[in-house]
Amino acid sequence: MNVTVAKSSGFCFGVKNAVTAAQDAVASSNDGKTLVMLGEIVHNKYVVDELVKGGFIICDKAEDCPDNSVVIVRAHGVTPDEIEILKSKNCDIRDMTCPFVSKIHKIVKENAQKGMNIIIAGTKGHPEVTGILGEAEEYGVKCAVIKAPEDLDTLDFPLESAILISQTTFSSDTFKKICQFVKNKIEKYNVFDTICITTESRQKEAASLSEASDSMIVIGSAHSSNTTKLLDICKGRCARTFLVNSGTEVRSLIQNGDILPTDKIGITAGASTPEAIILEVVQQMNEEEKITNQGFDTEFANAVDLIAQVRRGAVVKGTITSADDDYVYVDVHDKSEGRISRKEFDSDPEFDLDKAIADHVEVTVKVRSIKNSDQGKEIILSKNDVESEKGRAEIEEAYKNKTPITVKITRTVKDGVIGSYKGVDIYIHRTQIKTGEVKDLESYVGQTLDILVTKFDTEKGRLRISGSHRIIVSEERRKKSAEIWDNIEEGKHYTGVVRSLVDFGAFIDIGGVDGLVHVSELSWSRNAKPADVLKVGEEVDVYVKSFDKETKKISLGYKKLEDDPYYAIEERMPVGCVVQGTVVRLTKFGAFVQLEPDLDALCHVSQISSRRLEKPEDALSVGQVVQAKVIKIEPEERRISISIKEVAPIDPEIPEEEAAEEASEEAPAETTEE
């Protein structure tokens, strides 16, 4: 017997996610809530029975689900109306709709809103098709489900008014024929090939394998759409094609002579078939060969290796045993050890590799490839791939539920940065990093940011994810802003952050709201500029001077009373005390003397000298240090008067001629005796 197993066999991505979510729900406490499958989560009795044993019940309609229950929405998806019913029942909805199906929902809704009619290539009444049609119901457009090109002749609306889409598990060959039929009537951009890429590759592989086989085994349920498509494809190419559900059925085929020892046998499995059943089928064939003493060749042994736990794409657990400069070696319970690139561990500074080797630490890994050679089996593993898949699922969940996740910025790209979440890259445009302008992207590398996932796109088989930190910041500001306006009052103090400086003042963020500190409120110094007092980003204490809720304007104060040069001036410099200062300015009526920074006193020209001065310059010069007596203080007018002459008058020198003249005027008159 020569046996070949299709590489694309078993659970597809969407089904695997849904089943895993259900298994996780069984393992969790769920606070005593009822576990519900909205329709059988997979077309496989074995899987469904196991989940029912774990506590699940099956409800075919949303209205049948108990209130406050945990509801798993299977990969087929449901209508918007059913989601609303579940919400009204306060259910905990675990929406595991396949991303490919969600994409179809979006296409149908967007086009139905435009008034376009909908043509679906698929099976009428199938849960996936029913869910898709639900997206168009409220827009009053016409919908039709077809299975072949000739069905287009029965439509009651023109093709020109419609879009064409396909069920994810529809026959790729048939859809191509339908597309050929409508190519001159439906615009190219209105035709959407929405067949799942996994389904398409599985169908192509099944077609190729069945053409080269004498007998073909399709493992799966007759109720599964993708399984029946595989069956039809294989039957059209291999006369002896059999649908089986278990190893027991295979044994009957061998014992009854339907499958011969000399046959080339091909095996494929539908997307609803768990790996355990595929393994059971292959192992049963092995047992029958031992009984009939025919013996399987190495091709079959390779098939068993592929279908066993350690196979390409499988996620398995193993223990770390050793390492060299290039690889870390892991025992995955196979004949050969698997190996992981050492770079995966070197990039994780928190992982102690030496300790892991000594303790034989268990790790979960993904099998990237398996190759057989003369030296044995080479198994390439990856630890990061497991984290990436888990991270991708969590990111998709966060996208659907609009819940924030925390990413670490790893590098810059054109117009943005890349944030990493469990090995998955997320693009953040520079405008989505913060509310203001971002000038230096490099400064964000190494930082962590909370973001909302704004895009999760799997179109064209390539995952594109984008996120925004700005949305979170803006929402936080909105909440804080509402709180501030609810509680604001004059005189109330806030700790704020300087957002920007302008010629007329500074804008201060007091927690979601910006207020203006006018330049006159920044400093007691009349000549101070905003940049002389504050710096952008600085944290400051401010208080509310006035506000207007209608215009959303707030006037803030910054300068403090105790910093006022005239604060307690009458106590610090009482009238009669002697002070020292520096002449800073001369006018025709006197001299201004600086006693302290920003505190000047006026010495009137009459208070400088014991002589009569024409102008202050006759006795003083700028920069001259003088002593004077405080003779008057007017705090409200912000004036201080001092007298130099009452301490030590500064008398200018008199020219000799003027001195002689003064002396002669002061001398007593001579008397003449007669």
Residue 69's pLDDT is 94
What pLDDT band is residue 655 in, cutting at 50, 70 and 90?
A: low
Out of 22-36, 107-121, 186-200, 266-280, the most confident range is 107-121
Going by pLDDT thresholds of 50, 70 and 90, the confidence category of residue 658 is low
Q: Which residues lie across from 376 on neighbouring strands? A: 373
CATH of domain 571-656: 2.40.50.140
How would you write 145-176 as a 3-class SS string? EECCHHHHHHCCCCHHHEEEEECCCCCHHHHH
Confidence of residue 632 (pLDDT cuts 50, 70, 90): very high
Mean pLDDT of 617-629: 92
3-state secondary structure (DSSP) of residue 434: coil
CB 145 within 8 A of CB 123: yes
* Lowest mean pLDDT segment, chosen from 85-89, 167-171, 330-334, 364-368: 330-334
| CA-based torsion, 130, 132, 138, 141: positive or negative | negative
* Lowest-pLDDT range of 178-187, 204-213, 368-377, 520-529: 368-377
Least confident piece of the model among 103-117, 171-185, 382-396, 656-670? 656-670
Listing DSSP states for 47-89 in one string gives HHHHHHHTTEEEESSGGGSPTT-EEEEPTT---HHHHHHHHHT
Mean pLDDT of 467-484: 87
665 pLDDT above the threshold of 70 = no
661 confidence band (pLDDT: 50, 70, 90): low
Q: For residues 366 and 388, what is the distance between their CA atoms, to the nearest angstrom?
A: 10
Rounded to an integer, the average pLDDT of 220-244 is 89
> Is the CA virtual torsion 568, 573, 575, 580 positive or negative?
negative
pLDDT of 263 above 80: yes
Indicate the SS3 state at residue 614: coil
Q: How confident is the model at residue 287 (pLDDT cuts 50, 70, 90)?
A: low
Domain 315-382 belongs in CATH node 3.40.50.11750? no
Question: In which order are the strands placed within the sheet that holds 264-269?
Answer: 2-5, 264-269, 215-219, 240-244
Q: What is the mean pLDDT of the chain?
A: 85
What pLDDT, on the 0 to 100 scale, is given for residue 666?
54
pLDDT, residue 46, reads: 80
Q: Where are the domains of the chain?
A: 99-195, 315-382, 403-468, 488-559, 571-656
Q: Minimum mean pLDDT among 40-54, 60-74, 660-674: which range?
A: 660-674
Fold of 488-559: OB fold (Dihydrolipoamide Acetyltransferase, E2P) (2.40.50)
State the pLDDT confidence band at 289, using cuts at 50, 70 and 90.
low
User: Quick one: pLDDT band at residue 299, thresholds 50, 70, 90?
Assistant: very low
Q: From residue 261, give the alpha-carbon distance in Å to each of 5, 32, 93, 126, 415.
A: 17, 53, 50, 39, 63
Q: 34, 27, 11: which is closest to 96 by C-alpha? A: 11
Asked if the domains at 403-468 and 571-656 fall in one CATH topology, the answer is yes
pLDDT tens, position by position, 547-602: 988 888 999 988 877 778 888 888 889 999 999 999 999 999 999 999 988 889 99
pLDDT band for 621, please (50, 70, 90 cuts): very high
What does the pLDDT read at residue 662? Answer: 56
For the chain, percent of residues with pLDDT exceeding 70:
92
Query: Which CATH code for domain 403-468?
Result: 2.40.50.140
Task: Confirm if 186 and 163 have CB atoms less than 8 A apart.
Answer: yes
Q: Is pLDDT larger for residue 307 or for residue 426?
A: 426
Rounded mean pLDDT, 242-253:
85
- pLDDT value at position 288? 57
The pLDDT value recorded for residue 309 is 58
Q: What average pLDDT does range 482-498 have in this prediction?
A: 89
Per the CB < 8 A criterion, the answer to whether 595 and 639 are in contact is no
Instruction: Give the position of tokens 């020209």.
Output: 605
Residue range 182-209: mean pLDDT, rounded = 86
Task: Inform me whether the pLDDT recorded for 85 exceeds 90.
Answer: yes
Residues with catalytic annotation? 128
pLDDT in tens, 500-537: 889 898 999 888 788 998 988 887 777 778 888 888 88
Q: Mean pLDDT over residues 309-336, rounded?
A: 82
Report the pLDDT value the prediction gives residue 372, as an integer from 0 to 100. 65
Helices 45-53 & 13-27 angle (0-180, nearest 10): 20
pLDDT at 367 over 90: no
Q: Per CATH, is 99-195 categorized as 3.40.1010.20?
A: yes
